[in-house]
Amino acid sequence: MIKASLARITTTSLFALLWLPLSAFGGDNREVRGGNGITLPPPPATEVKPVTEDIRGTTLTDPYRWLEDGKSPETRAWIAKQMQYTEDYLSQVKIRPQIVSDLTKLERVESYTIPIERRGIYLFKKRLADENQASIYLRLGLHGADELLVDANKLSADQNTSVQIDNVSNDGSLLVYGVRSGGADEQSVRILEIDKRDTAKNRELPDSLPTARYSGIQLSPDKKGLYYARFDPTGTLVFYHRFGSPTANDELVFGKSIGGETLGPMELIGAEITENERYLLLTVIHGVPPKRVDIYAKDLRQPDAPIRSIIHGIDNRFRPVNEGDDLYVMTDYQAPNYRVVKVSMADPDPQRWTSIVPEGQDVISGISIVGGKLFVTGLHNVVTETRIFTLDGHETGEIEYPTLGAATGLYGREDSKEGFYSFESFIIPPTIYSYDVRTGRAEIFAKPTVPFDSERYEVKQVFYKSKDGTEVPMFISSRKGARRDGTTPTLMFAYGGFLVDLTPEWNPEYAWWMEQGGFYAQPNLRGGGEYGEQWHQAGMFEHKQNVFDDFFAAAQYLIQEKYTSAEHLAIRGRSNGGLLMGAAMTQHPELFGAIWCGYPLLDMIRFQKFLVGKWWTSEYGSSDNPEQFQYLLKYSPYQNVKPGTKFPAIMFNSGDSDTRVDPLHARKMTALVQADNASDRPILLHYQTVSGHSSGVSLTQAITDTADELAFLWNEVTGTK
């Protein structure tokens, strides 16, 4: 029998005796000491109810399995005690009122989303400075007045209900929008009929879709119904809903099988109707992130046309954009950094694909066709560049951006003369530009008035070596002339997974940190997509430790180069980045002064059993696989908490509305780290009922939650302990 690296005692009675928090016996009443003179009693005792099991010849004991049941009265009582303990801490942080005030100034500004244009009508979301939610607006003409269509601030008493634009008809007469409660992934769907001559005559259609997880909601070309993709426990299914009929009678269009291949929970399906309204495109994503993408099409000009395979069975990723009867496809097939090929939908044989933009040294991250031109957006050392091509592949120029930063791709119509993009940086709030495709001129469509003087700050990029010698980039932002003597409070954020690019984006939280004189650092770890699929693969499955090593090397670089010291280094991460925080606290707790671990994955032996965790087995592997179990056990934070570890200050963060990563991870890890902590630093759980993985909470709630996080991190890496 193989013993676990963290050999939990297998004799249940002895285990319970050894692993109960000392405070549960009343024998250790050590005072908890936070930064700047904060004192607390020991954390609330958590009852140990050990569950021992043999997994692939390894004996593991879980002391807090009972906390997996988030609805039980015992768990709810435990959450209440933990949150009160956290509130007792936060009430003593003297700088917190200032943080709330400062964040309010940075956050309470008028904000816009990139508009959707339909025949001179522009639809977008806008939030006024004094509002808690962004609402949906309409503008007639590029410089017309903004007219309110859907007021999100009136949808719930606590204003934790948000809206999103799901689809707009080609003539701009119908708006399909989603309504989401708190931070949940699920939404309900409603349809608004728009009278552009008199918006007072707008009316809600009686049809709606119930609350669910949707991945594509499209109006049919005749505007008599909706095509939609909905995730069900058995997998994603695509339906057609005819207006005026019950949703129970919706027609199943696609989802259970295709070409003799069964589609299940691991296959996520997206539905999209092309701009020219000729085709329903169905994209089948195998895993998250996908290891394979299939594309199917149904010709909507022929009512009885079958669903045809366009790209199928190739273990690569494909992202299509339609133009006429062709697809322009961004793919990493035979091109790890991606290329663009043209595929004839009439004859999609790969042997007949036409190369439009070949693979280069820099990764391509997105494509669009606007005004008859192909816009190809990519990253050069994690900085956005957008090149412009004719549809037959001749490069004609590029979009010029103001400085080092991050831009979206160009959004617009194939036949439109204008498109829109957003540009931002760590020290520049996001600005939305209207771009004239014919002249290349850009003008500001919307720019928030944020009280932040960008000229006083700077962003630089450095490269450091990881444990195995790999060179890794990192952005460092601060006030110009910030002190580098090893004592400056520094905040570092990272992710490292799922092909996600961490680009230089604006965040009021980081702006506040820099305003106080601190450094903000953001390394681009392996596992992300900044340098293409090879960079991603170097940080997934059995190579996940590379991600952690890249992060530790970033911390060591900041310390060695006198930006900060371990005592003054705060780190944060959420979701997959929360797993990174778990690895940081269990593998190198001595490198950090404070850790914020948000919406985290921490029990890597059981994650696939809860909510949509099975999707991520294509990134991490699964303990159900004997070989993958071994490397997961080696780094899984929950199984690698060692008794007697002197942990830094830690705040775990989650909430009931996280319907993606089960909050059980944060609950169990909080209990375990509190029990095994040998330092006197605070170990806290911040838990809100409305908080979740997705955006959607009110701005008031968001400011409160961010202030709690910043108050904790700043307090723990400044002043005396």
- 3-state class percentages of the chain: helix first, strand second, coil last, to nearest 5: 25, 35, 40
Q: What is the C-alpha to C-alpha distance for residues 325 and 301, in angstroms, rounded to an integer?
A: 12
Q: Is residue 485 exposed (0-12), middle (13-18) or buried (19+ Cβ within 10 Å)?
A: exposed
The answer to whether 161 and 179 have CB atoms below 8 angstroms apart is: yes
Q: What is the C-alpha to C-alpha distance for residues 384 and 408, in angstroms, rounded to an integer?
A: 8
Quick one: how far is CA 455 from the chain centroid? 29
For residue 376, list its beta bridge partners: 367, 387
Nearest residue to 655 via CA among 584, 709, 712? 709
Q: Which of 111, 691, 693, 694 is catalytic?
A: 693
HSE on the CB side for 186, CA within 13 Å? 13
Is 654 catalytic? The answer is: no
The single-letter DSSP state of residue 90 is H
Q: Is residue 54 exposed (0-12), middle (13-18) or buried (19+ Cβ within 10 Å)?
A: exposed
Q: Which of 575, 657, 691, 694 is catalytic?
A: 575
Q: Which helix (H) or strand (E) holds 373?
A: strand 373-380
Sorted by sequence, the CB contacts under 8 Å of residue 167 that are 6+ apart come out as 175, 176, 217, 218, 219
Nearest residue to 447 via CA among 92, 72, 114? 114
Q: What is the C-alpha to C-alpha distance for residues 134 and 107, in angstroms, rounded to an integer?
A: 13
Q: What is the C-alpha to C-alpha distance for residues 465 and 523, in angstroms, rounded to an integer?
A: 12
Peptide bond into 473 cis (omega under 30): no
Sorted by sequence, the CB contacts under 8 Å of residue 264 that are 6+ apart come out as 234, 235
3-state secondary structure of 649: strand
**DSSP per position, 156-219:** -TTS-EEEEEEEE-TTS-EEEEEEEETT-S-EEEEEEE--TT-GGG-EEEEEEEEEEEEEEEEE
Is 286 catalytic? The answer is: no
User: Active-site residue numbers?
Assistant: 575, 693
